[in-house]
Amino acid sequence: MYKRLVFANYLAEKDLETTCESKDSMNYYLKVYINGAKREYRWSACDQSPDGVELTKIAEYIIQQSENEKKQSEKHEVTVQGYVLQAKDDILLIGEGLNMLDYEWLKDEIQHMNLRCLHF
């Protein structure tokens, strides 16, 4: 998204049309915050100026991406949050719900344990 806006020179002044003869035309409002800069744009889909066409493509891309996100029926894998205690081959040992003291103790103790015999 960032790259599309930069290539469209989003910081430059835009000459956009906000009204159309057609009542069915989609009206857009886009507010952009990037690197401390803020820009707001209003235009109509019937705007055929280079700026209007470019911003319409960007708006349609944003809409399409948000619809794709809603349609995803696949459940994402469970996200585990914790400390990685050990990483070997394709196995991660993760400690959940640890404080720093527990983590520091386990980090040292784990080197002396044979974890291959543990199953859970």
User: Buried b vs exposed e over 52-91: b needs ≥16 C-beta within 10 Å?
Assistant: bebbbebbeeeeeeeeeeeeeeeeeeeeeeebebeeeeee
Does the pLDDT of residue 14 top 60, yes or no?
yes
**Tens digits of per-residue pLDDT, 48-81?**
888 888 999 989 988 888 877 666 555 656 666 7
Question: If you average pLDDT over residues 23-29, what whole number do you get?
Answer: 83
Is 46 a residue whose pLDDT tops 60? yes
Parse the chain into domains and list their residue ranges: 2-71, 83-115
* Residue 33, pLDDT above cutoff 60: yes
Average pLDDT estimate for 99-116: 75
Rounded distance, CA 45 to CA 27, Å? 6
- How far apart CA 112 and CA 120 sit, in angstroms, is 19
Q: What pLDDT is recorded for position 120?
A: 46
Task: Say if residue 7's pLDDT is above 70.
Answer: yes
Q: Average per-residue pLDDT in the chain? A: 78
Q: What average pLDDT does the segment 32-54 reach?
A: 87
HSE (side-chain half, CA atoms, 13 Å) at 90: 0
Q: How confident is the model at residue 23 (pLDDT cuts 50, 70, 90)?
A: confident
